[in-house]
Amino acid sequence: MRTIFFILQKEFLQIFRNRGMVAIIFLMPIIQLLVLANAANYEVRNLAIDVVDQDHSSWSQRLVNKLTASGYFKLHRQTFNEKAAFEDLQLDKADIVLMIPRHFERDLVREDKASLQLLVNAINGSKAGLANGYANNIIRSFNQNIRMEWLALDSRNGPAVIEVTYSNWFNTRLDYKVFMVPGIIVVLVTMIGAFLSGMNIVKEKEIGTIEQLNVTPIHKHHFILGKLIPFWIVALFELALGLLVGKLVFHLPMAGSLWLVFLFAAVYLWVMLGMGLLISTFTETQQQAMFIAWFFVIIFILMSGLFTPVENMPHWAQVLTWFNPIAYFVKVIRMVLLKGSGWANIQIYLLIMLVYALVMNGIAIWNYRKTT
């Protein structure tokens, strides 16, 4: 026990002696959280719209006003000339072009139908999808309004309607940051766990000091624990720091119990530390270790549902996420913080993490013995 304590002391001294490291531990998370939470924003607003209004009627004017008043669209250019609008689309100056043909109002009145055309710059597929959805919704409600007015419909005589009301739970203002901040905290914690721990052991190998440690009476498991525990503590500290910044700056809701988050993180971190350890057992240089860790972490992050929901993926990819520790943590931290899920809802995930932690560390320690 005393041996571990001394190794811990050495490790902490080494961490805090390195100024770069101290900056990474204390400053980086705050800066990252502030920058990332603002940058990682899929909220689509202020889309630049070009309107080619060849009708110039009162209804076409009203439609344009309704679009720009919605907050989703910003009028970039209103013109007669289709070419100018196409050019804007081509040059990325406009995200969407609405074409209102000549006699739009007249056709509506006389023939009971008229058509509009929307051209969407679809290079960014998800943005285009949302833009199209917003525009169609606005046009539909515009349609409803003019129909009511024109026919002065008495709801008893006209066609029957299904009235759809909706409400957004757990995030009534549809604040995207509330969705992203917990995920970004997961990424921060993961970086510390997976990268720094592995690199730290490899560094001893690369510099050659591991030989010196090997000839001391330190047991292997003492050495491993001594290497991993400091980063476990640092990562849990990061989690607290991240949650604090989230609370103070982004008003992150904390509906559930914070203890659950920390409990889950404590187990989750052993999976990540185990991964770092495993990588360190079969690499020789820090460059290699960093590279391999980066490769896996980036895949884990992309497939974790942090940016795009897991449910949207094809089935084979969803099966892969069962083996992705980051996916579990992202899911659990969002469930607990945003919805207030409790012990009963997350215990199964905690169990899975526990199994992964044991397996990962088991393999790593076994492999470690073999190679040194």
| Interacting positions 157-196 with other proteins (CB under 8 A) | 158-172, 174-176, 178-179
Asked whether position 5 contacts other proteins by CB under 8 A, the answer is: no
Q: How far is the CB of 313 from other proteins (least distance, A)?
A: 5
Alpha-carbon distance of 114 to 247, in angstroms, equals: 51
| Interface residue with other proteins, options 8, 30, 75, 128 (CB under 8 A) | 128
Beta bridge partners of 50: 77, 97
DSSP output for 174-234: --HHHHHHHHHHHHHHHHIIIIIHHHHHHHHHHHTHHHHHHHSS--HHHHHHHHHHHHHHH
Element (H, E) at 75: strand 73-79
Alpha-carbon distance of 11 to 27, in angstroms, equals: 20
Q: How far is the CB of 88 from other proteins (least distance, A)?
A: 11
Asked whether position 227 contacts other proteins by CB under 8 A, the answer is: no
* Residues 317-336 within binding reach of other proteins (CB under 8 A): 317, 320, 331, 334-335
> Which part of the chain contacts other proteins (CB under 8 A), choosing from 87-95, 216-224, 232-240, 358-366?
87-95
Kindly write out the interface string for residues 252-291 of this chain, putting x where it contacts other proteins by CB under 8 A and - elsewhere.
------------------------------xx-xxxx-xx
Asked whether position 304 contacts other proteins by CB under 8 A, the answer is: no
Burial class (CB in 10 A: 0-12, 13-18, 19+), 97: buried
Q: How far is the CB of 209 from other proteins (least distance, A)?
A: 13
Q: How far is the CB of 242 from other proteins (least distance, A)?
A: 15
Asked whether position 28 contacts other proteins by CB under 8 A, the answer is: yes
Q: How far is the CB of 355 from other proteins (least distance, A)?
A: 19
Sign of the dihedral through C-alpha 293, 298, 301, 303: negative
| Interface residue with other proteins, options 41, 54, 61, 257 (CB under 8 A) | 41
Alpha-carbon distance of 322 to 333, in angstroms, equals: 16
| Interface residue with other proteins, options 1, 58, 152, 311 (CB under 8 A) | 311
Closest CB to other proteins among residues 13, 39: 39
Q: How far is the CB of 261 from other proteins (least distance, A)?
A: 14
Other beta carbons within 10 angstroms of residue 167's beta carbon come to 5
Q: Which amino acid is at 284?
A: E
Q: Is 310 helix (H, G, I), strand (E, B) or coil?
A: helix
The site for other proteins, by CB under 8 A, has a size of 115
Dihedral angle over CA of 79, 81, 87, 88, nearest 10: 10
Q: Which amino acid is at 208?
A: G
Asked whether position 339 contacts other proteins by CB under 8 A, the answer is: yes
Alpha-carbon distance of 316 to 328, in angstroms, equals: 17
Asked whether position 47 contacts other proteins by CB under 8 A, the answer is: yes
Helices (H), 253-309: 258-281, 286-302
| Interface residue with other proteins, options 1, 2, 17, 125 (CB under 8 A) | 125
Asked whether position 362 contacts other proteins by CB under 8 A, the answer is: no
Asked whether position 340 contacts other proteins by CB under 8 A, the answer is: yes
* Residues 235-254 within binding reach of other proteins (CB under 8 A): none
Beta carbons of 250 and 31 less than 8 angstroms apart: no
Q: How far is the CB of 87 from other proteins (least distance, A)?
A: 11
Alpha-carbon distance of 140 to 289, in angstroms, equals: 55
Q: How far is the CB of 10 from other proteins (least distance, A)?
A: 17
Q: Which amino acid is at 109?
A: V
- For residue 339, what are its two tokens? 């919805």
Asked whether position 106 contacts other proteins by CB under 8 A, the answer is: no
- For residue 8, what are its two tokens? 């811990």
Q: How far is the CB of 361 from other proteins (least distance, A)?
A: 22
| Interface residue with other proteins, options 51, 341, 361, 364 (CB under 8 A) | 341
- For residue 50, what are its two tokens? 């070009």
